[in-house]
């Protein structure tokens, strides 16, 4: 640490230490920045302002946000919003073992103390990725999680307490830079070797990301079924692993068009962008038959979203079909991993 520039500027000021002057290592990178120090906080806030004013940044995503204290995160949001009211602040709200009282960490647990900040929702990630694994028992707890995350993780469901106070605090995702890509996860964790089956499940998962309440997050390349050749922690891997494979994008253009269709659907229908109060007023979710869930949203019109995680079956929908993940001809037929939306 003695070679680090901030340590040279003011020794033992910009980094966090325990009472015996051992460097805090909640980041598991060898040190933690002492964000509660006045000039350290100022440096971080001023840097964010500089990037907004000079380069037009419209948001910031904080890695290991739980290392940072809540006052610093709130100050970033406040000052940046003065320049751009639409600025977005989000990050990894994991509770890291840094030398800072848990009540002061910018974590999901402390979401009420940083109300304008969003968090990667690992409950959403875990529920959706578990459902699409053939080897996982879809027990009552998993399905409670599934129903809760569709509704933005802001409502109590069964034994599950809400994760957040407001729907704009949840980042819904199934894939990001950390861990395996969804394609690799399916191939190596599930043993799914058939590419068509992996694509079907990937489209199913992406559809749930885009149609759930909250903020959807799509990893770069997820839309064309990106792979990192099975590497699940690629921070120190070569470009061969981490690069964007544009040939794969060309090969899987159908996936790109599918993602565009989902994005447009979300833009066209405010049903998928409800505020927190509307979620409890406008949504009903029911298990209408084994493996089939009906997710209905009423906001003026009603959208009935049929989600099948079970075997092929038939449903009796009302209204006009506006979206189908598989585009088969039989409107009553609903195959496994198929999602259909009817408007009435």
Known catalytic residue at 46: no
For residue 157, the cross-strand partners are 160
Pair 271, 299: CB distance under 8 Å = yes
Upper half-sphere CA count for residue 141 (Cβ side, 13 Å):
5
What pTM did the predictor assign? 0.94
- CATH number of the domain located at residue range(s) 283-343 in this protein: 2.60.40.1180
Q: Which residues on neighbouring strands pair with residue 57, listed in sequence order?
A: none
In angstroms, the CA 196 to CA 203 distance is 11
- Widest CA span in the chain: 71
For position 138, what pLDDT does the model report? 83
Per the CB < 8 A criterion, the answer to whether 119 and 172 are in contact is no
In this structure, the strands spanning 320-324 and 215-216 are unpaired
* pLDDT value for 244: 96
Q: Which residue ranges in the chain fall short of pLDDT 70?
A: 135, 192-193, 329
The whole-number pLDDT of residue 192 equals: 62
Pick the catalytic residue from 69, 92, 184, 278. 92
Looking at residue 264, its pLDDT comes to: 98
All structural domains of the chain with their residue ranges? 15-120, 283-343
Please confirm, yes or no, whether 304 is among the known catalytic residues: no
Among the listed residues 18, 46, 58, 63, the single catalytic one is: 63
Q: In this predicted structure, what is the pLDDT of residue 329?
A: 67
Name the residue among 245, 237, 263 with its Cα closest to residue 178.
237
The pLDDT tens digits of the residues spanning 54-101 come to: 999 999 999 999 999 999 999 999 999 999 999 999 999 999 999 999
């Amino acid at each position: 640490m003695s070679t680090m520039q901030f340590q040279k500027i003011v020794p033992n000021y910009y980094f966090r230490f325990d009472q015996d002057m051992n460097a805090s290592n909640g980041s598991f990178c060898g040190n933690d920045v002492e964000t509660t120090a006045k000039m350290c906080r100022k440096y971080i806030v001023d840097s964010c302002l500089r990037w907004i004013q000079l380069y037009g940044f419209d948001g910031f995503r904080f890695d290991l946000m739980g290392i940072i204290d809540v006052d610093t995160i709130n100050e970033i949001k406040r000052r940046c919003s003065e320049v751009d009211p639409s600025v977005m602040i989000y990050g990894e709200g994991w509770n890291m073992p840094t030398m800072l009282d848990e009540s002061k960490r910018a974590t999901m647990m402390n979401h009420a103390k940083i109300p304008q900040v969003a968090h990667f929702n690992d409950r959403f990630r875990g529920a959706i990725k578990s459902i699409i694994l053939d080897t996982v028992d879809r027990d009552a707890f998993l399905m409670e999680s599934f129903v809760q995350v569709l509704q933005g993780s802001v409502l109590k469901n069964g034994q599950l307490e809400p994760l957040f106070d407001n729907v704009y605090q949840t980042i819904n995702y199934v894939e990001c830079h950390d861990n395996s890509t969804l394609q690799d996860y399916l191939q190596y964790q599930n043993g799914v070797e058939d590419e068509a089956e992996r694509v079907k499940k990937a489209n199913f998962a992406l559809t749930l990301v885009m149609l759930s309440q909250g903020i959807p997050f799509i990893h770069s390349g997820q839309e064309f079924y990106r792979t990192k050749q099975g590497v699940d922690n690629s921070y120190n891997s070569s470009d061969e692993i981490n690069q964007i494979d544009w040939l794969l994008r060309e090969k899987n253009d159908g996936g790109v068009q599918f993602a565009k269709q989902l994005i447009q659907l979300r833009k066209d229908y405010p049903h998928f962008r409800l505020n927190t109060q509307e979620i409890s007023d406008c949504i009903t979710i029911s298990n209408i038959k084994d493996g089939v869930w009906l997710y209905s949203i009423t906001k003026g019109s009603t959208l009935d979203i049929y989600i099948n995680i079970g075997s092929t079956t038939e449903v009796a929908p009302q209204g006009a079909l506006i979206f189908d993940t598989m585009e088969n001809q039989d409107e009553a037929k609903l195959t496994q991993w198929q999602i259909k939306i009817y408007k009435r």
